[in-house]
Every structure is written in structure tokens, then in C-alpha cells.
Amino acid sequence: MAREYKIEDYRNFGIMAHIDAGKTTTTERVLYYTGKSHKIGEVHDGAATMDWMEQEQERGITITSAATTTFWKGRDGKMHRFNIIDTPGHVDFTIEVERSLRVLDGAIALLDANAGVEPQTETVWRQADKYHVPRMIFCNK
């Protein structure tokens, strides 16, 4: 069976940062603006698509990395498949980030513009160095 999308049109990227920098909120916006979801799930309401575990919804934090797929039509008119991994930011779940980094083509490092570079951001940045994951920085809030 032939692939619907060519492998060169796939991108695997993760969103990584310190806890409460806005990783899941940013992921929810990406899903909304790409048409994957028709409502923006809010973390503080326990309605985020990516925080699927009951404990995540109750605590308002990501505990396990969650993956989803969405599509985007490029300027060239071709559809591109994006596999997104929303990673936890809490230090107790650092291993989840490391596991995710091994499969990524790139990562988005979120920085809280008010808090600056926080300790867990430095930790996940070093992990990305270890696996040679290209990164871009997105300042949030």
C-alpha cells in the first residue's frame, strides 16, 4: 500500500520547556489553527487534548509525553504531516523528555518571557544537545 504522504513531507517535532511555560497551551493552539481540533482545549479547565490522563487534568501539568498528528498546507500547495510531541516540564518527568528527543527532527524550546531561562529549560536543552536535535526558541506569555 502506498503512503498517502511522502516521507520527506513528514516532520517530527517536540515542544520542551520548564514547567508552566505554556507547552501544552501552545500545542493546543497549533492543533486548533491547523484544523485538527475545532475548540481550543484549556489546561486550567482540564480540557486540553494533550493532557489525557485524569491526574494531568486534575493537576494541570503534563506527566507523560503525548503525541498527535496534524497537517499543514505549505506554500508549494503540498500537504505536510506534522507529528507533535508535547513533553512534560516538571523535573520529576525529565526522562519522558529524553525518550521523546530520540525521535525528533527538531524541537521548539518555549521560554516564559517573564521568567526567562529556567533550570528545567537548561536541562532539556542539554538533553537535546546530547541527541543532536535542532531547536528554535519561542518566547511565550
Q: Is 15 within the bounds of a domain?
A: yes
- pLDDT of res. 93: 80
Q: Looking at the domain assignment, is residue 39 inside a domain? A: no
Nearest to 13 by CA among 65, 56, 79, 53: 65
User: Is residue 82 assigned to a domain?
Assistant: yes
- Chain centroid to CA 88: how far? 9
Count of domains in the chain?
A: 1
Per-residue pLDDT in tens (0 to 9) along the chain, 141 residues = 566 778 888 999 999 989 788 888 888 888 888 888 777 656 556 556 776 667 766 666 677 788 889 998 889 888 889 999 988 877 878 888 899 999 999 999 999 999 999 999 999 999 999 999 999 999 988
Residue type for 63, please? I
Question: What number of other Cβ atoms are within 10 A of residue 106's Cβ?
Answer: 13
Residue 70 sits in which domain range? 7-22+63-139
Joined grid coordinates for residue 43: 489546561
What's the pLDDT score for residue 118? Answer: 92
Residue ranges in the chain assigned as alpha helix (H): 23-33, 54-59, 94-101, 119-130
Residue 57 lies in a domain: no
CATH number of the domain bearing residue 113: 3.40.50.300
